[in-house]
Amino acid sequence: MPTLLYKGKLIFKFIPVPESFKPLYRICSRGIFTLVIVLLLGHTTAFADPDGKALFMSNCASCHNPLKDATGPALQNIDKSFPDKEWGYNWVHNSAKVIASGDKTANDIFNKFNKTAMTAFPQLSNADIDAILKYVDEYKAPAAAAPAAGAATGEQPAESNGWLYTIITLSLLVLVVILWRANQGLKRAANDVEGVANEKEIPLYRSKFVIALVSIILFIMAGYWLVNGAVNEGRQQNYQPLQPIFYSHKVHAGINQINCLYCHAGAEKSRQAMIPSTNICMNCHKQINSYSGEGEHALKTAEGKTINGTEQIQMLYKYAGWDPVKKDYNRDAAGNILATPIQWVKIHNLPDHVYFNHSQHVKVGQIQCQRCHGDIQEMDEVYQFAPLSMGWCINCHRQTEVQFTNNKYYDIFEKYHDELKSGKRTGVTEAEMGGTECQKCHY
Amino acid sequence: MIACLVLTVSLVSCDSGNIRRTPGHIYAPDMTYSRAYDAYTSNPNFADSMTSRLPVTGAVARGHQLPDHLKEGDTTAYKTFTTSMRFNADELNEGRRLFNIYCGICHGTNLDGQGPLYASGKFASMPANFKDAKYLHMPVGQMFAAAKYGKNMMGSYAAQLDAKQRWMVIAYIKQFQSKNGGDAFTLGEATAKPDSVKAPMMAKLEDKKTK
């Protein structure tokens, strides 16, 4: 009898089915066997019909959508526009042949879609094509995504209570003054009754103590305001200009998970992070011609004005020289695309005497974009997150340990590598490699 | 007391909700804003007002590849087009990283055409599924041409990926496909060949360096 022992303990023992259970056991096993056979048969019969969805996905989906025009026309109910069924089969098997035969319907479609030839699919049987057409005709758009959880709970934005506290504090102060005056008055009245001489009352504005106190406070506050104001003059923290197109980083980098480097490809390669040209926008916006995320995330300016996302995409098309009806670029006689650059407003500006290089920070230092730019993926309108002051730069150079090991750029710092190996130090900051030298950034 | 209230109210009404739409004043504008034309400043010397210009036709940047002479839409030429470059494990990893940044958003980081933009229903047509038989045996030159010029709904990636990066991405895709029923992977360093594309002058210089 098979048994299994582990460290002397019995963990498995085969127990034979008792005689009395045998009929039941037989019925069960037979039942399962029949079930498997039925399931298998059912499965194979399902396979006998071509799977329209699978065929559509592997052959058609890269150019066609059931509901929207893409590289080719929307396919739902397209079979109703065929002259006859045979025409449809011929078209799919070899559309070029149908067009060459001078067929009018074929040539109309061909011209409407910018003479993009459809790949021939001789391997699809007529039954396959019928299955695909059946699938697209029955296709329904997936239900719109449920609004984000945050929106559903109906959270109220926290209002600032600062003014309320100010009023309460002021009225309490007034109360203190009134009570103090009343107390003084009562004391005087009591003194009068008891015949004790009252001190001569000096009005507050002539009291030396009060004058000295007020002038010292005023002096300190004025100094504070003056120094702070002078230091911040020329700094642009929180600068959030209106841009020519309401481009939301939250929609692109946040909701749609597009990597920062997708558009700002230069951040790894050069001094400039690269402001994407319109052709990079059009990589996706050839297909995405409307903003459908209102339920999920309604677009609003910082002032609370509602923005129509679809209109903004139409504005992009004007800049990019894209004709959304023709689904092609407008071109001049020489074939150049008639695009004009979008004049974005520069937000982060370092003075001309400061050298800053994106690739040095992003590629060599492996610094995340958010470190200096804040939670860009949460911003509808970008604002300057960091003060970009020299103190801010230097602080980071002093405190941040760089990606030192496995980084060819820092190979030459042998002493630090040795010290890291011997455990004498745990990390290397930028300042320790000369990152606070004046000439690093000012030359 | 009334004066206090008036002051408070007027201070509150001046508060613009902390939205800063103007950059504010600066001490020395000519030190802050470059007098020279910067990369993105408008430039009156050119008809299109752009300071960033294209390089002279035929110029090859140092360390970059020689021009490939592919022409957009020349379907016969790119089928035989290939590279002599071979990639080591680090470069294939870099190819994977670049793929995830620039291609994954549509083609999916699993290379199955189910990128976030298509999976969320925002795209009308499905991006290429590299596991599909149609793409498993696609010539590398055809992929390169698609990355350089775009194809159907796909745009050109020439502005984001330079030639070597494009080849690294293609090598990564081909390596992935070789593990998923595609052809044997030939762009790996183990199958290295002498670099015939390199200009003779450059080869000489590198020879000197190694000596």
- Using one digit for the tens of pLDDT, what is the confidence trace for B53-97? 888 888 888 888 888 888 887 778 888 888 888 999 999 999 999
CA of B187, closest CA in chain A: separation in Å? 24
CATH topology of domain B81-183: Cytochrome Bc1 Complex; Chain D, domain 2 (1.10.760)
The contacts of residue A139 (CB under 8 Å, 6+ apart) are A66, A67, A76
Chain B CB within 8 Å of residue A96 CB = no
Whole domain around residue A190: which residue ranges? 166-220
Paired tokens of B133:
């038989």
DSSP B37: P
Chain B CB within 8 Å of residue A257 CB = yes
Domain annotation covers residue A228: no
Q: Do both A63 and A177 map to the same domain? A: no
- Using one digit for the tens of pLDDT, what is the confidence trace for B89-113? 999 999 999 999 999 999 999 999 8
Q: Do both A84 and A60 map to the same domain? A: yes
Interface test with B, best of A232, A283, A290, A359 (most B CBs within 10 A): A283
Interface test with A, best of B7, B10, B20 (most A CBs within 10 A): B20
Q: Do both A342 and A286 map to the same domain? A: yes
Cβ-defined contact of A284 to B32 (cutoff 8 Å):
no
Cβ-defined contact of A256 to B128 (cutoff 8 Å):
no
Residue of B nearest to A230 (CA): B27
Q: Average pLDDT, whole number, for chain B?
A: 81
The contacts of residue A345 (CB under 8 Å, 6+ apart) are A241, A242, A243, A244
Q: Which of A294, A255, A249 has the alpha carbon at shortest distance from A276?
A: A249
Q: Which of B77, B59, B202 has the alpha carbon at shortest distance from B148?
A: B77
Q: Do both A89 and A60 map to the same domain? A: yes
Contacting residues of B for A283, CB less than 8 Å apart: 150, 154-157
Residue of A nearest to B127 (CA): A62
Cβ-defined contact of B31 to A351 (cutoff 8 Å):
yes
Q: Which of B120, B127, B124 has the alpha carbon at shortest distance from A68?
A: B124
Answer yes or no: are the C-beta atoms of B99 and B169 closer than 8 Å.
yes
Cβ-defined contact of A62 to B133 (cutoff 8 Å):
no
Cβ-defined contact of B155 to A61 (cutoff 8 Å):
no
Cβ-defined contact of A349 to B27 (cutoff 8 Å):
no
Contacting residues of B for A71, CB less than 8 Å apart: 125, 152-153
Q: Given this model, what pLDDT does residue B197 score?
A: 47
Cβ-defined contact of B125 to A64 (cutoff 8 Å):
yes
Chain B CB within 8 Å of residue A368 CB = no
Q: Do both A264 and A379 map to the same domain? A: yes
Domain annotation covers residue A346: yes
pTM over 0.95: no
Answer yes or no: are the C-beta atoms of B109 and B129 closer than 8 Å.
no
Cβ-defined contact of B126 to A57 (cutoff 8 Å):
yes
Domain annotation covers residue A160: no
Domain annotation covers residue A214: yes
Between strands A322-323 and A328-329, the pairing is antiparallel
Contacting residues of A for B91, CB less than 8 Å apart: none
Q: Given this model, what pLDDT does residue A355 score?
A: 92
Chain B CB within 8 Å of residue A159 CB = no
Domain annotation covers residue A148: no
Answer yes or no: are the C-beta atoms of A254 and A377 closer than 8 Å.
yes
Examine the pLDDT at B211 and tell me if it is beyond 90.
Answer: no
Q: Could you say which of A71, A261, A351 has the minimum Cβ distance to residue B153?
A: A71
Question: Could you report the average pLDDT of every consecutive run of 10 residues in chain A (443 residues)?
Answer: 59 59 60 56 53 76 76 78 80 79 78 73 80 80 49 49 90 95 89 81 82 95 92 87 94 92 93 91 90 87 90 94 89 88 91 92 90 92 92 92 86 90 89 90 87
Q: Given this model, what pLDDT does residue B76 score?
A: 81
Cβ-defined contact of A58 to B124 (cutoff 8 Å):
no
Chain B CB within 8 Å of residue A166 CB = yes
Q: Given this model, what pLDDT does residue A207 score?
A: 84
- Using one digit for the tens of pLDDT, what is the confidence trace for A400-429? 888 888 888 888 898 999 999 998 988 899
Q: Which residue has the higher pLDDT, B115 or B205?
A: B115
Burial of residue A121 (number of CB atoms within 10 Å: 0-12, 13-18, 19+): middle
Q: Given this model, what pLDDT does residue A416 score?
A: 92
Q: Given this model, what pLDDT does residue A154 score?
A: 42
Cβ-defined contact of B159 to A163 (cutoff 8 Å):
no
CA of B189, closest CA in chain A: separation in Å? 20
B125 pLDDT band, cuts 50/70/90, is confident
First to last CA, chain A: 88
Q: Given this model, what pLDDT does residue A374 score?
A: 92
Q: Do both A276 and A341 map to the same domain? A: yes
Last residue of a domain, one of A367, A385, A403: A385
Q: Which residue has the higher pLDDT, B98 or B187?
A: B98
B190 pLDDT band, cuts 50/70/90, is low
Q: Do both A248 and A379 map to the same domain? A: yes
Q: B77-111: string of b/e by CB count within 10 Å (b at 16+)?
A: ebeebebebbbeeebbebbbebbbbbbbbbbbeeb
Cβ-defined contact of B34 to A282 (cutoff 8 Å):
no
CATH assignment of the domain containing A111: 1.10.760.10
Q: Do both A243 and A345 map to the same domain? A: yes
CA of A52, closest CA in chain B: separation in Å? 16
Q: Do both A244 and A304 map to the same domain? A: yes
Domains contained in chain A, number:
3
Q: Which of B120, B98, B100, B123 has the alpha carbon at shortest distance from B110?
A: B100
Q: Do both A128 and A262 map to the same domain? A: no
